[in-house]
Amino acid sequence: MTKKGQQIMMFANIRDPSNADVKDRPYTQKAADIFVSMLRNNHIICQTFLIDDDRAIFMFEDGSQAFEAKNFLLKQPQITEIILEGQNYVGA
């Protein structure tokens, strides 16, 4: 699917795999910042905004990059769920 040039938001639930029952805002912020750095290293540009203690929005100016980012993020143990374009994806 291509959304080149369109802005897209992706929602991600982030939890500490060693303590998945606890919502931890500082952990979520740190993990989201690390994911943004990792995505930028792969030339995927996005911004993140925390909307809950365990949930972040990833904002992509070029929507075509959101789908590649989704595939990467779903492989990360900290990601429990992603919502992109109305579709739910379960994390690792």
Sole residue written with tokens 């291509």: 2
Q: Which domain, by its residues, includes 60?
A: 8-90
Mean pLDDT by runs of 10 across the 92 residues of the chain is 80 92 92 96 95 96 92 96 94 78
**Considering the domain boundaries, does residue 2 fall inside one?**
no
Q: How many structural domains compose the chain?
A: 1
Amino acid 78: pLDDT = 95
| CB-CB neighbours of 24 under 10 Å | 15
Inter-residue contact 44 to 75 (CB < 8 Å): no
Amino acid 4: pLDDT = 75
Give the CATH number for residue 58.
3.30.70.260
**Considering the domain boundaries, does residue 44 fall inside one?**
yes
Amino acid 2: pLDDT = 61
- State how beta strands 47-52 and 55-60 pair: antiparallel
**Considering the domain boundaries, does residue 3 fall inside one?**
no
**Considering the domain boundaries, does residue 1 fall inside one?**
no
**Considering the domain boundaries, does residue 29 fall inside one?**
yes
The model's pTM: 0.88
Cα 64 to chain centroid distance, Å, stands at 15
Residue 85, Ramachandran bin (φ over 0: left; ψ between -120 and 50: alpha; else beta): left
**Considering the domain boundaries, does residue 46 fall inside one?**
yes
